[in-house]
Amino acid sequence: MSVKHVISRGLQLGRSLLHLGFLKSGGRVAAKLRVNGLQPRAFLPSRYRYYRTSLRGLAAQLQSAGLGRRFGGGSPRNRSVFLALGFGVGLIEQQLEEDRRSAATCREIQAVFSRKGFQSPLKPLTSGYKLEDYVIGNQIGKGSNGAVYEAAAPFAPLTLREDEDEEETACSLACCSLKKFPLAIKMMWNFGAGSSSEAILKSMSQELVPAAPLALKREKEQITLDGHFGVLPKRLSAHPNVIRVHRAFTADVPLLPGAQEEYPDVLPARLNPAGLGNNRTLFLVMKNYACTLRQFLEASTPDCRQGSLMVLQLLEAVDHLCRQGVAHRDLKSDNVLLEYDSDGCPRLVITDFGCCLAQSDSSLKLPFNSMWVSRGGNASLMAPEVTTAVPGCGVAIDYSKSDAWAVGAISYEIFGHHNPFYRAAGLESRSYQEQQLPPLPAGVPADVQSVIRLLLRRNPGKRPSARVAANMLHLSLWGRGALAYQDSVGVRKLVDWLLCQSAVVLLRGCRGPAGNTVEAELQRSFLSNLELEDLRTAVGFLLHGREQSLIHNTQNVSS
């Protein structure tokens, strides 16, 4: 065997040592470093934790051993192998050092944008803890747990931000004048919660998950809110694609327009002798939006870029929920509100948290020991791991990727097709096979189609998280030049692109209303959640999808 071939084989062996697990001495070196107070740096997955700080030392040891054998009479082959192994491990260390610098840059970018909080679409309310504080207009929506009415607050006549005031009238589907009624009030149905404020707030605590810090009066904040799962409800931080509850209070149920015709059975006996409702209930005050996503899609179909941005907004919202330990569990186009930004791009907002799972430990795993445990709402858009779960001792349903699956199904509606999991399409999440999914329109970009297909994978272990799927769309929309990387040089190019994106977004934010567009909000959200490993996973999915698409197209041409 030639020396050149031996060195080549040694370098290959050096690169594969991490995967084969032969670096036992590395573990001992790392253990010694931990005893001395040094901590491994997080540039490798946890399964490689013993190798994080030891590769450089191991490379030096191997190279030293090779040189020692050179002067100690070892055979030429053994000397070559030891030297090659040392150089191979040294190359790995060089690449990992590059990864450390790249990960540090990502953390710095993340820190900059994490400090820039989201600006609420409403000016702060100074009052409004009583129903009498509002002027209530017509009904604009009704669901299984409440009715929504347009409203205005005389104590805050200019509620909308100035840069959004004119754009609110852009949606032709708006069923009310948003200038006259910039707020919406949701009146919850109250069948069995009693009529005391404490009982109502405890029973309906899930509706308070998106509540702002001043939504409840201070004395009401002291009430223990335990929800349906025996845990304190989460309070979500603000996000441009998640509804914000600005006021929450209890009051006597009034006779509002359309009540006798639309929902007579839920009225209290004092308003309808045959009614089954309680005298008091919970009221939620939010911003009034032009229409729901479903209403918008019934009248128009967005172009492919707008559709991609809409899917991306839903993924960013779901990722925001997951990071804070909340699963919506009832995502559908009826529970997504819509308005336009200053550029005419639809902005989506997830609403209606009545079925959400909000746990103190953020595990998003619900013990499923009985059929009486609620899986959530809208059975048609439940992820396969939810619909196929069988109750039993020690069984838990994992909701960490179920909302992302629902986004994949809703994406069909956004791009002009029927949702494949509604009855008309015939597929059931419990039993469908991935090859049964209908094709998306030909105009939908290949990367977007790949994301949607991945989101609808049956096995959650093979399904990307909302964060990774969102990163895929970000890279597809804005980072095409940064995708073609396989080595450390490519990582540097990716980091250079991230730094350029950061500068662009920061400059755009300094130009007033330009920083409040959907694209600017999405880019800020992307940069504030930046993690190198998530980016790598996203790139891996994208490159694999492109390879599969190329193979498929080649086969079609050949046939």
Catalytic residues: 330
Instruction: Give the type of residue at 136.
Output: I
Q: Name the residue with tokens 């870029």.
A: 305
Residue 516: phi, psi to the nearest 5? -105, 10
Quick one: which of 375, 430, 373, 427 has its CA closest to 399? 375
Distance CA(255)–CA(263), nearest Å, equals 11
| Residue 151, beta-bridge partner list | 136, 183
C-alpha distances out from residue 120 to 95, 160, 248, 320, 339, Å:
43, 10, 17, 16, 14
Distance CA(383)–CA(385), nearest Å, equals 6
Distance CA(226)–CA(204), nearest Å, equals 9
Q: 3-class SS at 137?
A: strand
Q: Name the residue with tokens 């062996």.
A: 13
Distance CA(557)–CA(536), nearest Å, equals 32
Find all residues with CB under 8 Å of 504, minimum gap 6, and list them. 523
Cβ atoms of 285 and 126 within 8 Å: the answer is: no
Q: 425-453 as b/e, with b when 16 or more CB fall inside 10 Å? A: bebebeebeeeebeebeeebbbbbbbbbb
C-alpha distances out from residue 469 to 314, 341, 456, 465, Å:
11, 24, 11, 6
Structure tokens at 107: 């953390």
Tell me how far the alpha carbon of residue 75 is from its chain's centroid: 58
Q: 3-class SS at 264?
A: helix
C-alpha distances out from residue 117 to 170, 364, 443, 514, 531, Å:
27, 25, 36, 16, 19
DSSP state of 245: B
Q: 3-class SS at 100?
A: helix
